[in-house]
Chains A and B, each alone.
Chain A
Amino acid sequence: MAKAGKISLFIVIFLFTLSVLSPLFPSSDPYAINLDSIKEPPGINHPFGTDNKGRDIFWRVIAGGKISIGVAVTAAFVSALIGFTVGLTSGFFGGRYDTLVMAVVDFILSFPSLLLAVAISVVLPPGIYTVMIAIAVVGWTSFARLIRGYVLTLKDMPFVDSARAIGCSNARILLFHIAPLCIPLGLVMMGIKLGGFILTEATLSFLGLGAQPPVPTWGSMISAHRAYILVAPWMVLFPGIILSLTAFCFNIIGEALKKKYEVKDAGN
């Protein structure tokens, strides 16, 4: 699993780098419309074929990578940051604040997450930031719950008592003694969540709630091209393959991290 995790990480990084650097390649413009080569099947000039406006699908898929992966990773970071802060403080201070926070977490977790994301995307104007917010609003809860649980076990350990005995303030104990120990756990959770985040981003884009055309994202490409499924199936096939591959890689990375740090119940 460790080896598969490394390979997966390499694939994802490679895709993302290629996506960011793609403007450097000749004839890689994802927006270049060429009416002479409409709906061309995959071939030497266009490895993934062309779409209904003659745009090269390979380069559109590659260009979509930085948006899809970028949105998912950013949303994961935001979720982790919020979840970390909330989990650390509520686990450490407990009391009413903790009860309130956990009630909010339960509230969000008891709601079908896609529907909540859809509701948020309807209120806010469509775009990548809305997608990030929609993912993070649901996403932070699993981090908060996990970190809180861990802090609860950590805070009764002798090293916390010793820190307090030598006169450390609460803030210092939390930031320098407890927080660093929670970081691996947060990383594992990010790995586990990323595969799902990629799919949520794609689904919201597919529903037209994400980045707006002509910006290429994997979800919106599949959505826009599905009308041509009979005449030009490659227009739907390739974005989906790359999307599934990326989600699969992220899931394997999550599994590998989980095994490495021996986190058992990091589910949901």
Chain B
Amino acid sequence: MPPLLIGITLLAFSLLKALPGDPVTALVGERASAEAIENIRKELGTDKGFVSQYIGYASLLIKGDFGRSYYTNRDVLSDIEAKFPNTVMLAFAAMLMAVPAGIALGFFSAYRTGGFMERFSNIITLAGLSVPVFWSGIMLMLLVSLQLKLLPPSGTGGVAFLVLPAFVLAVPAASSLARITRTTVRDVMGLPYVKTARMKGLSEVRVNTIHILKNALIPIVTIIGLDFGSYLNGAVVTETIFGWDGIGRFTMEGIIKRDYPVIMGCIIAGTVIFVIVNLLTDIVYHYLDPRIRLHGKGR
């Protein structure tokens, strides 16, 4: 995990150095006060070599100084903090739709090889993975919001604003979840202990839920964690289209305006969040699977 953070900050720092002009003005913008510029200059140590400059930059980051936006002259980190709850809300809503739908579809399609359910879910999920979110988002907005006038087309707010972007995000997530669920359920179904459970005379429902689904869920948790982590980074495209005021849209605005402190701040903050979510996923994973837990304790 730490190498990942060092790598990404190094990448961001190289970007800063690669920009034409002074890295200090690149970090705070030309509209910053002379005092702020002097402070950053001292912190970075622009007169020293690359390595000590990088260390200076890293210590700025640790202090929470991500620089200031060129356009609004606002502190990047506090903007990110303000927008993060919106992104979390969207990510949660998307997962709330995707997880049950994906697992159910995958579970039922695992039952008969070559059956109708399998072919149906195969086509549906491949389609779900093939339609780009920026297009499905626009088309849904046109249909649901502008033609049928059921939901507000864009903006940040309550549940009504949340439904469309969450749905658009949930479709590809549910599709990949369904495909993975199908594979793992099929793998688990063939294991000897499932046969044992059936021979013991347990009910089909019990075998399916406790014996098959519970064990199949273990690898699925990782995928859910990965998806969730990348959504917390801000669903760049979805948030932009629906005008959802989260990290993703913030990143996008930074890119359009070439607002480098914003771009770098978002990428670094995004990586930190991603790393934390991955760590949590690992913990849940270990909790769910006693085999790994025992192995981890070195017994």
Contact = CB atoms under 8 A, between A and B. Distances in A.
Nearest to B146: A230
Interface stretch (A9-17, A56-64, A107-115, A138-146): A107-115
B256 interface: yes
A222 interface: yes
Given A207-B236, A233-B142, A236-B138, A119 B252 contact: no
Given A203-B134, A206-B134, A240 B18 contact: no
Contacts of B7: 107
A53 to B, nearest CB: 20
A107 B129 CA distance: 25
B72 interface: no
B230 A244 contact: no
A118 B253 CA distance: 13
Contact of B15 (A123, A229, A230, A255): A123
A136 interface: no
Interface residues of B, number: 41
A252 interface: yes
Given A118-B255, A206-B237, A251-B130, A243 B135 contact: yes
A222 B4 contact: no
B9 interface: no
B230 A112 contact: yes
B4 A203 contact: no
Interface stretch (B35-43, B57-65, B79-87, B270-278): B270-278
B132 A199 contact: yes
B134 A111 contact: no
A123 B267 contact: no
Interface in B100-156: 122, 126-127, 129-132, 134-136, 138-139, 141-142, 146
A185 interface: no
B251 interface: yes
Nearest to A244: B131
A7 interface: no
B132 A244 contact: yes
Contact of B127 (A208, A222, A248, A250): A248
Interface in A212-249: 219, 222-223, 226, 229-230, 233, 236-237, 239-240, 243-245, 247-248
B15 to A, nearest CB: 6
B246 interface: no
Interface residues of A, number: 41
A202 interface: yes
Contacts, number: 108
A107 B256 CA distance: 27
A267 interface: yes
A123 B26 CA distance: 14
Contact of A110 (B15, B146, B180, B278): B278
A207 B255 contact: yes
Report which residue of A119, A203, A250 has the largest number of chain B beta carbons within 10 angstroms of its beta carbon.
Answer: A119
Contacts of B15: 119, 122-123
Contacts of A202: 132, 134
Contacts of A119: 11, 15, 263, 267
Contacts of B236: 114-115, 118, 207
A195 B131 CA distance: 10
A229 B142 contact: yes
Interface centre among A111, A209, A236, A247 (most CB of B within 10 A): A111
Contacts of A263: none
A209 B146 contact: no
Nearest to B264: A119
B120 to A, nearest CB: 14
A175 to B, nearest CB: 32
B142 A112 contact: no
B129 A251 contact: yes
A163 interface: no
A223 B230 CA distance: 23
A43 to B, nearest CB: 20
B138 A222 contact: yes
B229 interface: yes
Interface in B268-290: 270-271, 274-275, 278
Contacts of A195: 129-130
Given A107-B4, A114-B236, A236-B142, 13 more contacts: A111-B4, A115-B267, A119-B263, A122-B15, A122-B255, A203-B134, A203-B237, A229-B141, A244-B127, A247-B129, A247-B132, A248-B130, A255-B126
- 8 nearest CB pairs, A to B: A240-B135, A247-B130, A248-B130, A112-B230, A244-B131, A251-B126, A206-B134, A199-B132
26 contacts: A110-B278, A111-B8, A112-B229, A112-B233, A112-B274, A115-B251, A118-B236, A122-B255, A123-B15, A199-B130, A199-B132, A206-B134, A207-B236, A207-B237, A219-B132, A229-B142, A230-B142, A230-B146, A233-B142, A236-B135, A236-B139, A240-B135, A244-B127, A245-B130, A247-B130, A250-B130
